[in-house]
Amino acid sequence: MKRCLGLSVSLLALLVGCSSGEAPNTRTLRLATTTSTRDSGLLDVLLPPFEAQHNVRVDVIAVGTGKALKLGEMGDVDALLVHARQAEDEFLAAQHGVRREDVMYNSFELVGPPEDPAGTRGLSVIEGLQKIAAGSCCFVSRGDESGTHKRELLLWNKSGGRPNWENYLEAGQGMGATVAIADQKAGYTLTDHSTYLRFRAKVDLVSLSARSDDLKNPYGVLVVNPNKHPSVRKELADAFADFLISPQAQRLIANYQLLGEALFVPMRFPPAQ
């Protein structure tokens, strides 16, 4: 009787597992990443092969880089894919993480209305910000401690500091929403290139600043410290980091395009020039 009961319970568990659509014993990796990474569509290309190879499901939490790092600090995720190098280095120095790898980069852009009332077209981003501030033109900041927001603040510091003016607005939202708000208000904003490409057909904003090292936007993957948080799945996080810097993933990154343009440049296996 006990044997029959045990068999029935095992059978029920198997049926429940099958009905969920997941393979038996599927593991879960908790990944915190940026809204810009998610919105670019790149994860839809990168995650399926990793999940298939390691029999794992990746649960993605898309937030600003500051919030992502906080999730790692609290041990609520296993790995991070973010883009704020100074904050990442501080995360490692505080021993919240045990590993960081360069993965890819794209660029930031200063975008604004086609009529460009501040006269920023073709200038460096530093000169452009100075013109926007001098003219008290509308500028929409993410204002959310994201990697983009951190870079914006750095650029303001390089431009001599950000004066306070009525038309400087903080959205407190993700990149896509911030671009939409800037478009509605015919204002300027700093955005990553991939998000701008996704929204370009839906907004009137145009890219204005000249390319420079100030706008380079590197992404890194970090493994959260399991010694601080025993629940962290370090083996899976390391496997994910290894995958992102592997030739397979780096080729996927190099080949990923939107509207005929590559969105990211791999940093470990750059495409042939």
Mean pLDDT of the chain: 90
- Which CATH number is 107-215's, of 1.10.3720.10, 3.90.1170.50, 3.10.129.10, 3.40.190.10? 3.40.190.10
Q: Are 63 and 34 in contact (CB under 8 A)?
A: yes
Q: Is the pTM of this model over 0.75?
A: yes
pLDDT at 13: 43
| Stretch(es) of the chain classified as CATH 3.40.190.10 | 2-106+218-266, 107-215
Residue ranges in the chain assigned as alpha helix (H): 2-19, 35-40, 43-54, 65-73, 85-93, 125-134, 147-158, 175-184, 193-199, 234-244, 247-255
What is 87-125 written as a DSSP string? HHHHHHHTTSEEEEEEEEEEEEEEEE-TT-TT--TTS-H
Q: Are 126 and 155 in contact (CB under 8 A)?
A: yes
pLDDT at 269: 77
pLDDT at 153: 95
Q: With bands split at pLDDT 50, 70 and 90, how would you rate the model's confidence at 37?
A: confident
Q: Which fold has domain 2-106+218-266?
A: D-Maltodextrin-Binding Protein; domain 2 (3.40.190)
Place of tokens 């993700």: 174
Q: Are 138 and 186 in contact (CB under 8 A)?
A: yes
